[in-house]
């Protein structure tokens, strides 16, 4: 009898096949997670972000007291919405602001809760009467990943985690929220509900890839790909009917029930709720995403991107499509989606304002590798031959050669980098400050996918619908066209005769400009920054921020009240001007950002009565 040997090539192919299965994303939506559809339980209202429209605005369908379609104002683009008990909130495209609407009124009046072009938001999460979001502060990296929460009245809530906790995702329920910590991938909960602590202890040290919060329970996918639920089980909402590894692709949790989309065919299964959540009305229907309210659930139908609802809180109409038209299956972003590809019909759905990227399996690296497939073992012979010593030696040498080659290559690259930049010798570098020119780029340039993590400062400060801008160096004097030319302070001093008064040609903001001549004969203008006491006093003056809803108080009453878009444009210009006088250059917006913000402010005024841009 011979012993069965598995070649390294076979094992590699097997491992890659398993990893490709595990790399599929665990997309989940719940009572309090951001999506492109939202459910507001108390008023039987369902909202969606409209697709195939110039403005990706919000449209809602309210069943009671009479069935009606409500066009939500303002008519601007949103990337995500999330619903609570009587209200819902929407995150503006770009993440710089979010608004909320009370659905118990006859008309939905917008109320701005947050606006900040530097501390952007992501992962908007609405509970029954509170809102939380993850902060992506581009000016303070140490604050990126922190969570801020607001009460239902729009005021900042004290029920927020500490600033030392950094989260990668969050979800909210009835009086509490939970999130996955960046460093450990473990669950941390907060709020005024005692069950929050119980749920956190229930997950203990478990590594979680995704979690979703319902009324009083939480479900999440662990590192093995299995679904784990903790919390209240009074209605069987924790009793998953079957729990095979990687069986579900999405979750939606309500007050006492849970639903999930099956990965293999897009069908929906629900459990809990005392058996009242019968999915027979939606048999044969496949969904892109699902969300849940307190007592009913809704999903986005794959076939036509319409919305269908079911459950005891949606009686006599379960399984019927809502008259909301096409709804986006995901946010439109300014990206080529090169990482994971484009969503089908992406350009048409976004109406040319971006692309919908396929979600990436960014958490697949945390999944516990599955064991290699087992093979029927041959009957054990009386004598098992040992592996040849020469084979073991050859394998060891091969591993040593691979590791040594990688290490040697890294060392060579490090030495080349040191010699090229002069960093290893402590040589101080000063970047060439030749004024760049601004050129227009396509709508897909400059911004990254929303699945690629935290955005850069230059890209996130811009509105999604603004045209992306890119810098190019003027002239061809640089030896390396794709690299900023650098000079030492001594070289610049020699070129300007030690910054003499005779070489001074003028003064700019926070600095003096000198005429200089480099060693190669090029004549340049060099700006030397100054940080005198006078500058500090000017920069440290208090500059009041005027919110949109306060703008009418300072305007001449004869002009009349500004429209919502006009007020937002004035606020954006004021915000940009305020940051232009920051003392440190790194805190001031780039010229690209300034032009982009002014462009956006002008576009907000387009079509407004009496505005400059309309020509009236």
pLDDT digits (tens, 9 = 90+) for 318-373: 778 999 999 999 999 888 888 888 888 888 999 888 899 877 643 434 444 444 43
CA distance 587 to 285: 52
Distant-in-sequence, close-in-space partners of 16: CB < 8 Å, separation ≥ 6? none
CA dihedral 401, 403, 404, 407 (to 10 degrees): 160
Burial 330-348 (b: 16+ CB within 10 A, else e): bbbbbbbbeebeebeebee
531 pLDDT band, cuts 50/70/90, is low
What's the pLDDT at 440? 34
pTM of the model: 0.59
**pLDDT in the model for residue 82:** 94
Please, where are the H alpha helices in 298-388? 346-350
DSSP-assigned beta bridge partners for residue 272: 257
* Reported confidence tier of residue 447, pLDDT bands at 50, 70, 90: very low
pLDDT the model gives residue 546: 56
Classify 404 as helix, strand or coil: helix
Q: Rounded to 5 degrees, what are φ and ψ at 97?
A: -160, 155
pLDDT at 467 over 50: no
Judge contact between 90 and 55, C-beta under 8 A. no
How much is the average pLDDT of 451-480?
Answer: 37
Is the pLDDT at 553 greater than 50? The verdict is yes
Number of H helices, E strands in the chain: 9, 30
Q: Tell me which range, 49-63, 414-428, 530-544, is most confidently predicted by mean pLDDT.
A: 49-63
Q: How confident is residue 389, by pLDDT bands cut at 50, 70 and 90?
A: very low
Give the full edge-to-edge strand order of the sheet including 217-222: 208-213, 217-222, 227-231
Looking from the CA of 248 toward its CB, the CA atoms found within 13 Å total 28
Instruction: Quickly state the pLDDT bin for 407 (edges 50, 70, 90).
Output: confident
Whether the pLDDT of residue 15 is over 60: the answer is no
* pLDDT on residue 214: 93
Q: Among the listed ranges 128-137, 437-446, 490-499, which one has the minimum average pLDDT value? A: 437-446
Reported confidence tier of residue 234, pLDDT bands at 50, 70, 90: very high
pLDDT score at 164:
87
Q: Is residue 445 over pLDDT 50? A: no
151: left (phi over 0), alpha (psi -120 to 50) or beta: beta
pLDDT level of residue 314 (50, 70, 90 thresholds): confident
- The per-residue pLDDT of the chain, averaged, comes to 75
User: What Cα–Cα distance (Å) separates residue 551 from each residue in 41, 452, 565, 570, 576?
Assistant: 34, 37, 12, 9, 16
Check residue 464 and give its pLDDT. Answer: 37
Q: What is the pLDDT of residue 441?
A: 37
The pLDDT, as a whole number, for residue 530 is 61
Beta bridge partners of 112: 99
Which is more confident, 421 or 69?
A: 69
Above 70 in pLDDT, residue 27? Answer: no
Question: What is the pLDDT averaged over residues 421-432?
Answer: 50
Report, as an integer, the average pLDDT of 24-44. 70
Look at 295 and 403; give whichever has higher pLDDT.
295
* pLDDT > 50? residue 578: yes
Q: Among 373, 372, 345, which residue's Cα sits nearest to residue 358?
A: 345
- Asked which of 151-155, 422-426, 536-540, 591-595 is least confident by mean pLDDT, the reply is 536-540
Mean pLDDT of 22-51: 74
What confidence category does residue 470 fall into, taking pLDDT thresholds of 50, 70 and 90?
very low
Cα distance between residue 67 and residue 171, in whole Å: 30
Question: What pLDDT, on the 0 to 100 scale, is given for residue 179?
Answer: 95
Condensed to tens digits (0 to 9), the pLDDT of residues 151-181 reads 888 888 888 898 889 999 999 999 999 999 9
Q: Output the DSSP codes for 167-222.
A: EEEEEE-SSEEEEEETTT--EEEEES-THHHHHHHHHTT--EEEEEE-SSEEEEEE
Three-class SS of 528-549: EECCCHHHHHHHCCCCCCCCHH
Compute CA distances 594 → 149, 472, 574, 613, whole Å: 30, 16, 11, 18
Q: What is the phi/psi pair of residue 527, to 5°? A: -105, 125
User: How far is residue 215's CA from residue 349's CA, in Å, rounded to a whole number?
Assistant: 33
What pLDDT sits at residue 113? Answer: 93
Calpha distance 242→593 (Å, rounded): 51
Contact between residue 127 and residue 107 where contact means Cβ atoms under 8 Å apart: no
* Secondary structure (3-state) at 70: strand
Per-residue pLDDT at 61: 95
User: Rounded CA gap, 550 and 561, in Å?
Assistant: 11
Tens of pLDDT along 97-126?
999 999 988 889 899 999 998 889 988 999
Q: Which of 138-147, 447-456, 539-548 has the lowest mean pLDDT?
A: 447-456
- Arithmetic mean of pLDDT, 254-268: 91
386 marked as part of a ligand binding site: no
Average pLDDT over residues 5-22: 39
∠ Cα 421 424 427 (to 5°): 65
Confidence of residue 545 (pLDDT cuts 50, 70, 90): low
Examine the pLDDT at 421 and tell me if it is beyond 90: no
Ranking 18-32, 142-156, 205-219 by mean pLDDT, the lowest is 18-32
Residue-level pLDDT at 224: 86
Q: For residue 208, what pLDDT band results from cuts at 50, 70 and 90?
A: very high
- The pLDDT score that the predictor gives to residue 156 is 85
């Amino acid at each position: 009898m011979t012993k069965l040997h598995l070649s390294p090539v076979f094992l590699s192919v097997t491992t890659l096949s398993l990893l490709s299965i595990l790399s599929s994303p665990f997309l989940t939506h719940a009572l309090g997670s951001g999506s492109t559809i939202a459910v507001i339980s108390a008023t039987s209202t369902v909202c969606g972000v409209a697709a195939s429209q110039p403005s990706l605005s919000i449209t809602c369908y309210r069943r009671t007291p009479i069935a009606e379609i409500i066009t939500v104002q303002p008519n601007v683009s949103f990337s995500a919405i999330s619903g609570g008990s009587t209200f819902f909130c929407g995150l503006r495209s770009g993440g710089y602001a979010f608004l909320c609407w009370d659905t118990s009124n006859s008309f939905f009046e917008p109320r701005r809760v947050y606006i900040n072009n530097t501390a952007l938001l992501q992962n908007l999460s609405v509970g029954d009467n509170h809102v939380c979001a993850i902060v992506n502060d581009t000016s303070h990296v140490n604050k990126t990943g922190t969570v801020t929460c607001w009460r239902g009245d729009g005021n900042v809530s004290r029920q927020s985690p500490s600033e030392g906790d950094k989260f990668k995702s969050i979800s909210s329920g009835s009086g509490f929220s939970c999130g996955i910590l960046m460093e450990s991938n473990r669950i941390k909960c907060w709020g005024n509900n005692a069950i929050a602590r119980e749920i956190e202890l229930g997950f203990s040290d478990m590594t979680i890839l995704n979690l979703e919060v319902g009324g009083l329970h939480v479900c999440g996918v662990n590192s093995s790909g299995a679904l784990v639920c903790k919390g209240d089980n009074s209605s069987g909402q924790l009793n998953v009917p079957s729990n095979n590894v990687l069986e579900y692709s999405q979750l939606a949790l309500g007050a006492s029930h849970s639903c999930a989309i099956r990965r293999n065919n897009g069908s929906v299964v629900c459990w809990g709720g005392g058996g009242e959540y019968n999915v027979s009305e939606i048999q044969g229907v496949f969904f892109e995403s699902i969300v849940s309210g307190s007592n009913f659930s809704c999903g986005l139908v794959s076939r036509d991107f319409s919305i269908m609802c079911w459950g005891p809180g949606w009686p006599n109409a379960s399984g019927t499509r809502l008259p909301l038209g096409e709804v986006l299956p995901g946010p439109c972003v300014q990206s080529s989606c090169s990482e994971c590809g484009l969503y089908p019909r992406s350009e048409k759905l976004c109406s040319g304002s971006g692309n919908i990227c396929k979600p990436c399996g960014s958490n697949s690296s945390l999944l516990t590798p599955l064991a290699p497939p087992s093979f029927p073992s041959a009957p054990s012979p009386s004598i098992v031959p040992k592996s040849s010593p020469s084979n073991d030696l050859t394998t060891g040498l091969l591993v040593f050669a691979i590791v040594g080659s990688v290490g040697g290559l890294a060392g060579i690259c490090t030495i080349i980098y040191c010699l090229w930049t002069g960093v290893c010798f402590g040589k101080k570098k000063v970047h060439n400050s030749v004024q760049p020119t601004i050129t227009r780029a396509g709508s897909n340039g400059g911004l990254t996918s929303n699945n690629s993590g935290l955005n850069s400062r230059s890209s996130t400060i811009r509105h999604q619908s603004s045209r992306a801008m890119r810098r190019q160096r003027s002239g061809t004097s640089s030896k390396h066209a794709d690299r900023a030319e650098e000079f030492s302070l001594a070289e610049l001093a020699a070129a300007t005769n030690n910054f003499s008064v005779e070489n001074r040609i003028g003064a700019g903001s926070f600095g003096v400009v000198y005429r200089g001549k480099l060693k190669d004969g090029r004549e340049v203008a060099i700006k030397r920054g100054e940080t005198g006491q006078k500058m500090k006093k000017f920069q440290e003056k208090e500059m009041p921020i005027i919110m949109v809803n306060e703008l009418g108080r300072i305007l001449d009453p004869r002009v009349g009240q500004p429209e919502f878009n006009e007020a937002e444009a004035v606020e954006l210009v004021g915000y940009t001007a305020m940051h232009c006088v920051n003392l440190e250059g790194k805190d001031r917006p780039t010229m690209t950002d300034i032009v982009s913000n002014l462009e956006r402010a002008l576009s907000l005024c387009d079509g407004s009565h009496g505005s400059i841009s309309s020509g009236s």
